[in-house]
């Protein structure tokens, strides 16, 4: 039995899509277990560059079955658009399955998300306005709509009507908008349902049988540990748990089936969205790192917003790896640091009262914390063609080893570029 969770150690945008794409070559199943179309996984392969929002990152491997689990916020419109996009770009049709228990993101969720962010103004939470927070609010309020409801028209219309009762009060009296009509949403979904029908199944049974047969399963997380609503930088968090501990729930597998947890982190820090970010750079220093990062600069795969960037934060990453229960780490974007003579790394925080701590504090304290930096030698060279750890310059090897010792988890992979083959396997 081999079940591996691939999850983020930080704020998201760590490179999980690339690592899932690479490891999917030897996988039987690749499963999205939480989140929705609010974050993109960028993949670069022989077909081109792709930013997937709903589809699992294993869709470029014909041998892998890609599953959207019951914990996912299923945006049917985005899913069908992505399938059409793959076909248009010459990618073979993926093997796809969608849990009949996955719940649907509806137009009302997207509209409510957008209007609330506008109302909050400068106090907004940096939402991508994809309807995720309203979606999960409805899910836990027990007024959501499951994928199975698409094939039971009376039930579907009834569920949408119930969901819109309270929302239309908000639309009219809080936001000054006309109410939405249940029939409009239901009619659109019923049209989409026929395209979705071939993919819908009991995904929990599918994966349970796969595990019993000893097949290889990858569980693909969205965002990172520091966006977890319980353990992250609340309220600047996402609305579902991106932790490996939730992966079995969101995929529909029994607890204890996950044997490996691969936590992904960048060789520096980045994030899209609001919230405390202790090592953040500004001005020309930020722009220089942003320009060199990623495959075409540090910009959100879904939003296109410039990512906030900063030095590697060992405190945050150690905390994120602990929350994830990481058994190994993938360190990505090492190549982006090759221009620096000296590279600062955050090893502790100085709190408002002057105390220096090595733990990750709660949001209020973190907002006032300053990073304590230790500086390492840079390597001043291009490492994108290195394929073994020994081929890296000595200073680059020392940097990786420093990260490894700081976070207390083995660095099993080092990514030196955005393409599949630009990867060093250490273990």
Q: What angle do CA 46, 52, 56 make, to 5 degrees?
A: 90
Say which residue the tokens 């001043």 belong to: 380
Give the burial class of 420: count Cβ atoms within 10 A of its Cβ; 0-12 exposed, 13-18 middle, 19 or more buried: middle
CB 49, CB 22: distance < 8 Å: no
Q: Select which of 21, 28, 41, 228 is catalytic.
A: 41
Strands (E), 57-181: 65-68, 73-74, 95-99, 103-104
* DSSP character at residue 91: P
CB 409, CB 321: distance < 8 Å: yes
Write phi, then psi, for 424 (nearest 5 degrees). -105, 125
Q: Tell which residue, 304, 270, 331, has the closest CA to residue 18.
A: 331
Whether 183 is catalytic: no
DSSP collapsed to 3 states, 359-421: CCCCHHHHHCCEEEEEEEECCCCCCCCCCCHHHCCHHHHHHHHHHHHHHCCCEEEEECCCECC
Strand 65-68 vs strand 95-99: parallel, antiparallel, or unpaired? parallel
Neighbouring-strand partners of residue 343:
376
Q: Which tokens in the block code for residue 425?
A: 């396997």
Whether 100 is catalytic: no
CB 367, CB 397: distance < 8 Å: no
For the CA atoms of 150, 155, 157, 159, what is the dihedral angle to 10 degrees?
Answer: -100
Q: Tell which residue, 127, 158, 131, has the closest CA to residue 143.
A: 158
CB 395, CB 333: distance < 8 Å: no
* Sequential DSSP letters for 215-237: -EEEEEEEEEGGG-TTTSSTTSS
Q: What are the residue numbers of the active site? A: 13, 41
């Amino acid at each position: 039995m081999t079940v591996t969770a691939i999850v983020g150690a930080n704020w998201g945008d760590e490179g999980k899509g690339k690592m899932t794409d690479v490891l999917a070559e030897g996988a039987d199943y690749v499963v999205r277990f939480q989140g929705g179309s609010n974050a993109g996984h960028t993949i670069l392969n022989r077909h081109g560059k792709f930013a997937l929002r709903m589809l699992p990152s294993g869709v470029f491997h014909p041998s892998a079955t890609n599953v959207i689990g019951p914990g996912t916020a299923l945006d049917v419109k985005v899913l069908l658009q992505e399938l059409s996009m793959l076909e248009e770009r010459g990618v073979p049709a993926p093997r796809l399955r969608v849990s009949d228990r996955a719940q649907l993101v509806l137009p009302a969720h997207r509209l409510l998300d957008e209007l609330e962010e506008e109302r909050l103004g400068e106090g907004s939470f940096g939402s991508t306005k994809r309807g995720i927070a309203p979606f999960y609010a409805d899910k836990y309020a027990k007024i959501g709509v499951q994928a199975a409801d698409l094939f039971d028209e009376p039930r579907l219309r009834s569920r949408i009507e119930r969901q819109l009762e309270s929302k239309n009060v908000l639309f009219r009296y809080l936001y000054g908008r006309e109410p939405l009509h249940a029939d409009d949403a239901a009619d659109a979904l019923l049209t989409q349902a026929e395209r979705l029908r071939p993919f819908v199944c009991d995904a929990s049974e599918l994966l349970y049988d796969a595990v019993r047969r000893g097949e290889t399963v990858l569980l693909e997380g969205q965002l990172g540990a520091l966006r977890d609503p319980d353990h992250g930088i609340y309220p600047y968090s996402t609305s579902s748990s991106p932790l490996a501990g939730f992966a079995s729930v969101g995929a529909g597998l029994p607890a204890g089936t996950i044997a490996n947890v691969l936590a992904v982190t960048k060789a520096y820090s980045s994030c899209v969205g609001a919230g405390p970010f202790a090592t953040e750079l500004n001005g020309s220093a930020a722009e220089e790192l942003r320009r060199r990062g990623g495959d075409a600069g540090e910009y959100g795969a879904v939003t296109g917003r410039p990512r906030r960037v900063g030095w590697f934060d060992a405190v945050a990453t150690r905390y994120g790896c602990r929350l994830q229960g990481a058994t190994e780490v993938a360190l990505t974007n090492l190549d982006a640091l090759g221009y620096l003579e000296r590279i600062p790394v955050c090893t502790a925080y100085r709190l408002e009262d002057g105390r220096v701590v090595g733990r990750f504090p709660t949001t209020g304290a973190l907002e006032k914390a300053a990073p304590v930096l230790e500086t390492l030698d840079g390597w001043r060279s291009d490492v994108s063609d290195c394929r073994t750890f020994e081929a890296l310059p000595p200073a680059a090897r020392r940097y990786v080893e420093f990260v490894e010792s700081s976070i207390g988890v083995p660095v099993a992979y080092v990514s030196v570029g955005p393409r599949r083959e630009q990867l060093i396997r250490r273990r």
